Amino acid sequence: MSPTTPTSPALRPRPLGSTGPEVSAIGLGCMGMSALYGEADRGESIATIHAALDAGITLLDTGDFYAMGHNEMLIGEALRTAPAAHREKALTSVKFGALRDPDGGWSSYDGRPAAVKNFAAYSLQRLGVDHIDVYRIARVDPGVPIEETVGAIAELVEKGHVRHIGLSEVGADTIRRAAATAPISDLQIEYSLISRGIEEAILPVTRELGIGITAYGVLSRGLISGHFGRDRKLAANDFRGMSPRFQGENLQHNLDLVESLRKIAEQKGASVAQVAIAWVLSRGDDIVPLVGARRRDRLTEALGALDISLDSADLAAIEEAIPAGAAAGDRYPEAQMTHLDSER
């Protein structure tokens, strides 16, 4: 047992949607260990994955395009070097479809059935596993009906290469079309105190259809973690350097919201990040936050959210401090917003 990671009974696996696998109450999002948030330390990344598995986290989320396979190879190494008992419980959730170029650029998305099978073949190899637990296209390919993309994953399920089919950043109509094609375990989508767009039209549909939510950006990429300051220097390729929420007056406005959350956190004897994660956990057992910890100290902090209970007075105070729609700035740069089926 690692000295830094407490095992919490609250992590105990629960079903992800009505057809998905049993997963821990919190999943680990591994993206930042390879891409989008500046440099990461490889040894610390692997130690963080090991500590997460040790603590009882079973769900590891990645994308084949996070540093062009780097993130999958990192997870592959972490799984190979983990104790067998932890490795056997680990579940991989993999996104595919984003097309990259050698300079690190992003172009479009490919959801053609032949491409789906090609992406999966490479992911299985890089992860060093004989199946992927949940497989999903990161963004809908506008040139390919979702039925064809999901149908191709369903064929991979039939052959045993994939166990479950997920979705990512899609809206209500696409969810219904996908679910009419094959069983869908979960929708992966941004959800946090400052990104509440799913509440009106998307969450009612996932709940009606028995589809779980794996929520990303629960700390809004660090913005509402309580650790992000105006003076933070970002690497040239850091996503946050381009994100509207991290720019100029928007950033100041959003950090002011964090300060009002900090007051509530202090009264609870908790950190800002813990209250932000606990708030997402409080929204329902069908919602599994993916925390983007890439260091063991951040992971320990995130796991502490499981020990916080927010009563109705706490929830009302949080709602008053950060009402829905309070954030300044879109959650993605304009060009990337156009890829979000969930925002149509």
Ligand X SMILES: NC(=O)c1ccc[n+]([C@@H]2O[C@H](COP(=O)([O-])OP(=O)(O)OC[C@H]3O[C@@H](n4cnc5c(N)ncnc54)[C@H](OP(=O)(O)O)[C@@H]3O)[C@@H](O)[C@H]2O)c1
Nearest distance from C-beta of residue 40 to ligand X, angstroms: 7
Q: Is there binding between residue 186 and ligand X (CB under 6 A)?
A: no
Task: Show the site string, 237-256: x = touches ligand X by CB under 6 A, - = not.
Answer: --------------------
Under the criterion CB under 6 A, does residue 287 sit at the interface with ligand X?
no
CA–CA separation, 297 vs 84, rounded Å? 24
Choosing from 23, 202, 273, 317, the residue that interacts with ligand X (CB under 6 A) is 273
For 254, phi then psi, to 5°, come to: -70, -35
Cα–Cα distance for residue pair 251/224, rounded to 1 Å: 11
Site for ligand X in 60-89 (CB under 6 A): 61-62
Catalytic status, residue 37: no
Closest distance between ligand X and the C-beta of residue 161, in Å? 21
278 binds ligand X (CB under 6 A): no
The radius of gyration of the chain's CA atoms, rounded to the nearest angstrom, is 19
Asked if residue 217 binds ligand X (CB under 6 A), the reply is yes
**Which residue, 138 or 144, is less far from ligand X as judged by CB?**
138
β-pairing, 14-15 with 22-23? antiparallel
Note whether 29 and 292 are within 8 A (CB).
yes
Q: Report, in Å, the least distance between residue 224 CB and ligand X.
A: 8
158 vs 343 by CB, closer to ligand X = 343
Q: How far is the CB of 312 from ligand X (least distance, A)?
A: 25
The minimum distance between CB 15 and ligand X, in angstroms, equals: 20
Residues near 265 by Cβ (< 8 Å), separated by ≥ 6?
226, 271, 272, 274, 275
Contact 85, 93 (CB under 8 A): no
* Cα distance between residue 81 and residue 153, in whole Å: 29
Stretch near ligand X under the rule CB under 6 A, chosen from 153-161, 221-229, 241-249, 280-288: 221-229
- Which C-beta is closer to ligand X: that of 19 or that of 93? 93
- At its nearest, how many Å lie between ligand X and the CB of residue 257? 15
Tokens of 283: 């929204």
| Under rule CB under 6 A, residue 8 binds ligand X | no
Task: Tell me the DSSP string of 215-231.
Answer: EE-TTGGGTTSS---TT
Spatial separation of the C-alpha atoms in residues 107 and 50, rounded to whole Å: 33
Give the pair of three-digit tokens for residue 123.
């992911």
What is the maximal distance between C-alpha atoms in the chain? 54
Taking CB under 6 A as the binding criterion, the range among 13-21, 23-31, 84-92, 155-163 that sits at the site for ligand X is: 23-31
Binding ligand X by CB under 6 A: which of 37, 65, 279, 332? 37
Q: Is 293 in the site for ligand X (CB under 6 A)?
A: yes
DSSP state, 318? Answer: H
Q: Which residue among 5, 92, 188, 243 contacts ligand X (CB under 6 A)?
A: 188
Those residues whose C-beta lies under 8 Å from the C-beta of residue 44, and which sit 6 or more positions away, are: 294, 295, 296
Q: Which residues bind ligand X (CB under 6 A)?
A: 29-32, 37, 61-62, 95, 138, 168-169, 188, 216-222, 225, 227, 273, 290-294, 298, 301-302
What positions carry a catalytic annotation? 66
